[in-house]
Structures are given as structure tokens and as C-alpha cells.
Amino acid sequence: MYRYDDFDRQLVHERTEQFREQVKRRLAGDITEEQFRPLRLMNGVYLQLHAYMLRVAVPYGTLRADQLRQLGMIARVYDKGYGHFTTRQNIQYNWPKLDEIPDALLDLAKVEMHAIQTSGNCIRNTTTDQYAGAAADEIEDPRPYCELIRQWSTFHPEFTYLPRKFKIAVTGSPNDRAAVKVHDIGLRMHQNDAGETGFEVIVGGGLGRTPFVGKTIRDFIGKNDLFSYLEAILRVYNRFGRRDNKYKARIKILVHEEGIDKIRELVEEEWSQIKDGSLRVDDAEIAHYIEQFAPPAFETLADDDADFERHKSENRRFANWVRSNVIEHKQPGYAIANVSLKPIGGIPGDATDTQMELVADLSEKYSFGDVRVTHEQNLVLPHVKKADLFALWTALDADNLGTANLGYVTDIISCPGLDYCALATARSIPLSQRISERFSDLDRQHDIGELKIKISGCINACGHHHVGHIGILGLDKRGKEFYQITLGGDASQDASIGKIAGAGFSEAEVVDAIESLVTKYIDIRDGGERFIDTYRRVGMDPFKEVLYGDR
């Protein structure tokens, strides 16, 4: 894993001190809340419904054990004993006190963490595949490129006051687990005809109130040229992106209004002028970063483990967990273990201080001290020996972290909604809890199979409802919450935006509505079809009928 050197440390240290001064100026009344706002936002401090919220960056979703342990400590000391992992692989604290935030940032800096650019109209935290460096289907580990993007984008002097926020996602695998097609820029690693590895560059994807699947601006950019190409896109966006209307300011609108061909022309013209400049990264430099993400010291093992098989046959709950939460690893004898933060009836993505400390300890014991955060709001121990899985699960299960539901109907993405968020129009957490409780039976969940429910508490779509197989959008109608259902969304390599099924449902009705959709799917599915496959085969009508009948 990447370790800060003295330059990285110095930068974060200086930033922390800078913010301490800014908070001091604010608390002393030297600057108004209005003047303080952009300064705090650049440091991840939002003002929410009830309190300030601190969003801490987890670059490309990768954490070391000591970092996760520190996140747990921060939850205990500066918050109410928990934190919330987000769809951007970050963590949010909901109850910090403003005068204590500089100390929290100092404690983060001690473990090479910060809250830089987790807000504001700048390039945000780069996200990637949570299984990077472990996945059997990976072409190459995307994290070295993510780290290079992190550095390039941190305090980029030209791109800190963009028309709007800007999100980059990278996948090193053909099976896209990073939702790259719904980001401002998505990078998909692949090989060209000459056998070189590089990236397909996708621009203009996004969710929010105007969702788009991104379009390919360049089928292949070599690794050495990636950064100058990103700079060219950002410069075109910074110069030509709309600034007259906040809701039309994302690059997706520019791409939509001008057309991808026109944007490609502008970007290629810009790139032709900078491609041979100082942003070209040579092979030796890339090799240096690849080395920093070198695989841990895997043992040479047989792929099967007799004890592991025995535990599976003896312990049904363990076998269930393996079935849903354990993924194939590229190294024989190892596995990827997903730690669900979606216990039945729980708050999606929340983890307590002690849970974070436990996962940190377990990662040291079983996964080379490596932990990942997923955009689906779970954690991952990426490198676990199959022989250790039972001991790992037993320890997780003892602290309510052994839920066997990855990818199932209860593995719900949810934004914080009206319980916390100043923008929300409806609550989303209680609804996700009720859906989770309704489908709590594990055999039934397994029978339903992969079904991604995603809930947003407002049109800004932080809960990714547009790309939920079933999406739920909470709205407000004359002071009453109601929920609109979309069907057929998908964030994977087959990305699509869900379609609105029809009129919204009251909070009381919506769980029944979800259940009737699921029942219909079970009734009409073909063989091993997932919900999304069935939807794509039969279309909206059969589902609409169970929701609305003749209505």
C-alpha cells in the first residue's frame, strides 16, 4: 500500500494548520459564516440539519489497519461513537463540534489521512474497485494510477474552482465494480490491439437530477499519457462548462448539450498541445508506483482447504456467509471477504467505533492489514486465507458484522436522508430499515438472488437510485413524504438509468410495493435470471401492472 513520504506529510500538515487558523478566525468572529463556508467545505466540513458534518477522504477506498483504528478512535472521541461509510468510499462523522475539528484533522494527519477536497467544486476523491489487487478478473491493479490521480488533483491550482464538483472512477477489471459509467470521468482499463494496457476514457456520466450514462471520448489512452489527457478534459470543462445554473454545471450537461463529438474535438485539440509536456509520466515513474502497491507476501497454498470445507458443511450460517460474501481471489488458497455493514434493520454503512477497531484488528490478523471501503457501503478484507475464513467470520459475527447478504435485497445503498441531511426531502434510512426487515429471511434473500435496491432522500441522488435495479427516490408532496420507484437501473459495465414506474407511494405503501415487484419477478423469471435480467427481458409492463393494476 502507498505510504506517505515527507512531501505528502508536509502538505497535509500545512493544510491542517491552515484550517486551524481559519476556524480560529471564524470562532473569533473575524470572518462570517458566509466567508467561512467555502473554506470549511474545502476541508470536508458541511453544515447539516443538526450539526456540522465532517467527511474524511479514503483515497480509492483503501485503508490500512492503523488508519481504520484511528477512524474508530475519532468516532468515539469526536462523535457519538459511530461513523458512516459513503457511496464515495469515504467516511462521514455526523456530530463533530466545530472547535474540535482541527484536532480531529490533526489526529487524521497522524495516520496520513485528511478531509481535503471531500467537498467543493473541485476534483473529489478518486474511487475504484474495492477488490483492486485481489480480484481474479483484474487486468492490472488500478491503485497506482489512482494514487497518481490523487496527487495530480490535490490542490490543483487550475481546477479548484470548477463549474461544479468532479468525480473520477477507475476500474482495472472488465467487471465494473466502481460504476465508472456514472462518473464525470470513468477510466476502464483494457488492452489495445498492440497488447498495451491503457484506459478507455468515458466522460459525462452522472446521477443527480439529470442522470446520464457516460460516453466514450477516447477508446484508448496509454498510461504515460493519462494525466495530460485528464488535464485536457478538465481544462475544457473549466473553460466551457456552464456556470449560469448550478443544476446544469456538471460536465454531463456540457457533453449532452454540445455532443460528445464536439467535446472530443476540443479535448483532442487541447491535448495535442500539452501531451508532450511535463504531465507525461514515464514508465520508470509508473513502475515506482506499481511497486508501492505490490502484492503482499502471499503464501503458496493449495486452492482448497480441508478445514474450510469442513466448517462449511458443519455450520450453515458460515456456509451462507461464504456463499454471499466471499469472492474468488487471484491467489490460490486466498479469498476476498466482504464485511457487510447492512445488518438486518440496521443503518446502511454505519459502523461503531468498536466495530471499526475490530475490523482493523482482524485485518492485521488475517488480511495483511489491508481494508477496503466499497461504494456500496460495506467493508472488505481483500486477502484472507481460506483456512482463516471461519475464524474471521466467527469474530465478525460476534460483533454483528457477519451478515450474509452481499448483493442481496437487504444490501441496500441509502443516503443519510432527512435524518441528517439539509438537502433531503424525505427520510431514507427508516425506509431501508423496513425493507431490510421485510426481507430478513436469508433463504428467501438467497432465492431472490442479486437485487440492488438503492434509496435517495432527494433528487440529488446520493443514494444512486437511478442505477438501482430497484431505485427509490424520496420526495415531499405538500409536507408528506412519498417515494417514487424506478426500475432497471444498473451501475455495472452494462450501465443503464432506471425508468420511473409511475406514481409515487406513501411510506406505508412502499415496502409492500417492493414486495409485489419481487414476487412478480420470482413468478416470471427464467432459470437463473437476476431481477435486472428479467426486467430487461420483459420490460416495465408486467411490473407496472403489479404496482398499479388498472390504475
Residue (277 or 549) nearer to another protein, CB:
277
- In the set 273, 292, 506, 519, which binds another protein (CB under 8 A)? 273
The smaller minimum CB distance to another protein, of residues 194 and 284, is found at 284
- Under the criterion CB under 8 A, does residue 11 sit at the interface with another protein? yes
Contacts with another protein in 39-78 (CB under 8 A)? Answer: 39
Pick the closer one to another protein by CB: 41 or 412: 41
Burial class (CB in 10 A: 0-12, 13-18, 19+), 478: exposed
Cα radius of gyration rounded to whole Å, the chain: 23
Is residue 238 close enough to count as binding another protein by CB under 8 A?
Answer: yes
Q: Helix (H, G, I), strand (E, B), or coil: what is residue 379?
A: strand
* 224 near another protein, rule: CB under 8 A: no
- Selected from 3, 5, 32, 306, the binder of another protein by CB under 8 A is 5
Q: Binding another protein by CB under 8 A: which of 32, 245, 278, 313?
A: 278
SS3 assignment, position 177: coil
**Torsion-angle region of residue 281: left (phi > 0), alpha (psi -120 to 50) or beta?**
beta
Q: Which residues of 431-456 are buried (b: 16+ CB within 10 A; e: fewer)?
A: bbbbbbebbeebeebeebbebbbbbb
Q: Is residue 14 near another protein by the rule CB under 8 A?
A: yes
Nearest to another protein of 278, 300 (CB atom) = 278
Q: Using CB atoms within 10 Å of the CB of residue 536, give its burial: 0 to 12 exposed, 13 to 18 middle, 19+ buried.
A: middle
Number of residues this chain uses to bind another protein (CB under 8 A): 31
Locus of grid cell 493449495: 302
* DSSP output for 319-358: HHHHHHHEEEBSSTTEEEEEE-S--TTS-TTEEEHHHHHH
99 binds another protein, rule: CB under 8 A? no
Among 103, 137, 258, 285, binds another protein (CB under 8 A): 285
2-10, 252-260, 330-338, 515-523 -> range binding another protein (CB under 8 A) = 2-10
If you count them, how many residues does the chain have?
A: 551
**Going along 57-126, which residue ranges are E strands?**
62-64, 82-85, 91-93
CB of residue 146 to another protein, shortest distance in Å = 14
At 177, the amino acid letter reads: R
Q: Which of 84, 235, 311, 544 contacts another protein by CB under 8 A?
A: 235
Q: Which part of the chain contacts another protein (CB under 8 A), choosing from 138-146, 270-278, 327-335, 361-369? A: 270-278
Q: How far is 62 from 356, CA to CA, in rounded Å? A: 14
The residue (of 38 and 539) whose beta carbon lies closer to another protein is: 38
Residues 443 and 528: their CA atoms lie apart, in Å, by 16
> What is the identity of the amino acid at 498?
G
Nearer to another protein, 15 or 181 (CB): 15
Alpha helices by DSSP H, listed for 315-472, are 316-325, 353-366, 389-398, 429-438, 442-448
Q: Pick the closer one to another protein by CB: 227 or 393.
A: 227
State yes or no: residue 161 binds another protein (CB under 8 A): yes
Q: Which is nearer to another protein, 158 or 307 (CB)?
A: 158
Site for another protein in 118-157 (CB under 8 A): 121, 151-152, 154-157
Query: Which residues make up the interface to another protein (CB under 8 A)?
Result: 5, 7-8, 10-11, 14-15, 18, 38-39, 121, 151-152, 154-162, 235, 238-239, 243, 273, 277-279, 285
